[in-house]
Chains A and B, each alone.
Chain A
Amino acid sequence: MLCLTLFTYSMGKFGYSGTIPAMLLLLTVLIKSTFIIRDFMGLRGVSLLWRAIMYGWLWIITTAIAVTYLISIN
């Protein structure tokens, strides 16, 4: 997760913009958040309902952000 944070910072520091950097950054959000939900929050193996709520929140947010950024870039 620290490596992904360094990657995120580097993307911002060097000013990368456009579709691919935006999607890569959102991918890092998905990966890091999944780590936190599954391993830190301890939702691995928990009832499907709770996992669906947490991962559903994550995917809805990142998809909505991705769509708005894709519209703004294109």
Chain B
Amino acid sequence: MSNSTAIENEQRLLPGDLAIWFFIFAELLVFGIFFIVYSIQRLQHVELFNQYQATLNKETGAINTVLLITASYFVVRAVDAIKTNNISSCINWLYASLGMGTGFLILKSYEFYSKFSVGIGINTNDFYFFYISLTFFHFLHVILGMIIIFFVILFAKKGKYSAKEHTGIETAASYWHMVDLVWIVLFPLVYIIH
């Protein structure tokens, strides 16, 4: 088997377009470095990080986790639906995931507002620098994921996907799951563990 054939076989095995996976790996690398730098920085200011971590709203953090996990599950159902050529069901699951994503954005916006309205910002201290930077960077990824899903819905409505050809949906799904995966690490790291 030639190298190119081997690469093609691997490409087929990964869900979605291969290019999105290189993008996902790059994103995970950036978030990973962010997480490690946060942990190292916390090591030098343990008291400060513990003190200000206690000011975070754990309820909204937990609800946001539930929203993202549920959204990911809905995306899985959408992919399952298109594999059986059930386009309307696929679109409905994608809309449901968009609903969950919107819920996440509303709660996160409320959380940001509650901090910014009392004068807390990125320059307040080291903890808030990481908290705001990390969560806002992730927030932008949720928005991007929702935009991608929105366009996938439009394409699905135009009949561009079927049981045989649904790479676009799998590509969007892979990106969305990456956004979920990052939050799974971020929530306990920034909000809970001390």
Q: Known contacts A2-B69, A65-B35; is A22 also within 8 Å of B193 by CB?
A: yes
A69 surroundings in chain B (CB, below 8 A): 39, 193
The one of A9, A41, A64 that contacts B62, using a Cβ cutoff of 8 Å: A9
A43 surroundings in chain B (CB, below 8 A): 14
Whether the pair B25, A53 counts as a contact (CB closer than 8 A) is yes
B89 to chain A, nearest CB (A): 18
A65 surroundings in chain B (CB, below 8 A): 35-36, 39, 189, 193
Whether the pair A5, B36 counts as a contact (CB closer than 8 A) is no
Interface of B is mostly: helix
- Which among B29, B73, B177, B185 has the greatest number of chain A C-beta atoms within 10 A? B185
Report the contact-size class of chain B (Cβ under 8 Å from the partner).
35 or more
Q: Known contacts A64-B39, A72-B46; is A8 also within 8 Å of B62 by CB?
A: yes
B148 to chain A, nearest CB (A): 15
Binary per-residue interface labels of chain B (120-137) against chain A in the complex, 1 for a CB within 8 Å, 0 otherwise: 000000000000000000
- Say if the beta carbon of B118 comes within 8 Å of chain A: no
Which residue on A lies nearest to B18, using beta carbons? A50
The one of B10, B42, B189 that contacts A47, using a Cβ cutoff of 8 Å: B10
Q: How many residue-residue contacts, CB under 8 A, span A and B? A: 113
Whether the pair A32, B13 counts as a contact (CB closer than 8 A) is no
A50 to chain B, nearest CB (A): 6
Report the contact-size class of chain A (Cβ under 8 Å from the partner).
35 or more
Whether the pair A1, B36 counts as a contact (CB closer than 8 A) is no
B25 surroundings in chain A (CB, below 8 A): 53, 57
Which residue on A lies nearest to B56, using beta carbons? A12
The one of A6, A29, A41 that contacts B188, using a Cβ cutoff of 8 Å: A29
9 A-B pairs in the complex with CB atoms less than 8 angstroms apart: A17-B50, A25-B193, A40-B75, A40-B76, A41-B174, A41-B177, A45-B13, A68-B39, A71-B43
**Taking beta carbons and an 8 Å cutoff, which residues of B are in contact with A?**
10, 13-15, 21, 25, 28-29, 32, 35-36, 39-40, 42-43, 46, 50, 58-59, 61-62, 65-66, 69, 72-73, 75-76, 79, 170, 173-174, 177-178, 180-181, 184-185, 187-189, 191-194
Question: Beyond A8-B188, A40-B76: 11 further Cβ-contacts under 8 Å?
Answer: A12-B58, A12-B192, A21-B193, A42-B174, A47-B13, A50-B10, A50-B14, A65-B35, A68-B39, A69-B39, A72-B42
